[in-house]
Amino acid sequence: MGTNPKDEILALLGESAEHARYLGELGVETVALTTERTAVAATAALSPLANDTSSERKGNPPLGRQLAPESALFAREPPAQLASQDSLFTGLAPAKPLFARSTETLENIWSDIGDCTRCGLCEGRTQVVNTHGNPKARLMFVGEAPGADEDAQGKPFVGRAGQLLTRMIEAMGMKREDVIIGNVNRCRPPGNRQPTLEEAAICRPFLFREIAAVQPEIIVVMGNTALRNLLEVREGITRVRGQFQDFRGIKVMPTFHPAYLLRDPSKKRETWEDLKKVRDYLDSTARSASQ
Ligand code: URA
Ligand code: URA
C-alpha cells in the first residue's frame, strides 16, 4: 500500500486540490509527487516561509531550538508503555474511563492560577499566558510554553510559530476562533529553554482541569513536551506522530511543533497528513451526530 508509484500518484491526484491549498497556505509552491524528502525540501526551500525561517535565525532562536536528544528528555520518568494505537475510526468507545466532565469554568481555573508563583518560571515572565480560545471547542492544540511574543501579549501562539499554526488550522477548514489553544507551561522559560520536568508537573494540572472543563473531542499535541506531558510514551514525536492515541478517553493526535516546521519546512507534509486525520475524524463525528 502506498509503495506502488501508480497508486501513490492516483492517491495524490485525488487529494491534490486540498493538498495544494494546504501547501499554498504554508508557503510551499510546488509539490513533489515522488515522496522523496529532498524534493519536498527543495520546493519548500523556495518558499517565502523558508526565507522567514532564516530571518528568524538572525533574531530570537526558534522555539524548536534547544531540544535535547529525545532519550534525555524526561529520563527520570518511570518506564512507560506506548499507548495502544487506534486505527483511524476504531476505538470510538473509549476503553478507559472518560475524563469526568467538570463543572469548573475556565475563568474559575484562571482565577485559581492567579498571579502564579508556584514555580521558578514566574521570576522571568512578564505575565501568565493562559489557554485561549473557544470554551466549547471540539479541537484543542497543546504546545510547550510561551515564547517572547506570547509573554508580551499574554496569549498562546501569537508569534511566528503561532502564525503558522493559524494557517494550519485554516487549511483544515476551521478558524482559530473555533479551536482552543494552550501550553504545558504558562510562563516563558528563560531563553526559551524547555520547561523542566518539575516545572511541567507543577503547571500541567491546570491544563488537565481545562481539558476536563472543555472536553474537546480531539487534542493535537505539538512536539515532544506536549506529547510527553499528556501521554505516557517513551518514543519521541517522530515515531508517534500521525497515530491516534488516548488520553483518558479523549483522542490525541501527536504531530510536529510548528516551530520545528519553521526550522524544517519539509516536515509540513507529514504534519498535514496528521491534521487531515483530525479533520476527517471531526467530520465523521459531526455527521454521525446529525443523523
Ligand atoms: N511555542 C509554544 O510551544 N507555545 C506558544 O505559545 C508559542 C510558541
Ligand atoms: N522535537 C520536538 O520537540 N518537536 C518537534 O516537532 C520535533 C522534534
CA–centroid distance for 270 within its chain: 13
Phi, psi of 182 (to 5 degrees): -145, -175
Phi, psi of 252 (to 5 degrees): -125, 130
- For 199, the grid coordinates are 516545572
Which pLDDT does position 17 carry in this prediction? 60
Tell me, in angstroms, the distance from the centre of ligand 2 to residue 170's CA: 22
In percent, the amount of the chain with pLDDT more than 90 equals 62
Tell me, in angstroms, the distance from the centre of ligand 2 to residue 112's CA: 31
Angle at CA of residue 59, ends 56 and 60, nearest 5° = 90
Phi, psi of 117 (to 5 degrees): -130, 30
Cβ distance 216 to 226 under 8 Å?
A: no
Entry field: residues in the chain:
291
Asked if the model's pLDDT at residue 287 lies above 90, the reply is no
Which pLDDT does position 27 carry in this prediction? 52
Q: What is the pLDDT of residues 154-204, one digit of tens each?
A: 999 999 999 999 999 999 999 999 999 999 999 999 999 999 999 999 999
Asked if the model's pLDDT at residue 31 lies above 50, the reply is no
Which pLDDT does position 129 carry in this prediction? 98
Which atom of ligand 2 lies closest to the CA of 144? 3
Q: Is 82-290 a CATH 3.30.360.10 domain?
A: no
Residues of the chain with CATH 3.40.470.10: 82-290
Quick one: pLDDT band at residue 23, thresholds 50, 70, 90?
Answer: low
Task: Pick from 63, 207, 225 the residue to mutate for probing ligand 1's pocket: most ligand atoms within 8 Å of its CB.
Answer: 63
- E strands in 18-156: 132-133, 139-143
Which atom of ligand 2 lies closest to the CA of 225? 3
Tell me, in angstroms, the distance from the centre of ligand 1 to residue 87's CA: 29
Range of weakest confidence among 9-23, 69-83, 175-189: 69-83
Which pLDDT does position 90 carry in this prediction? 42
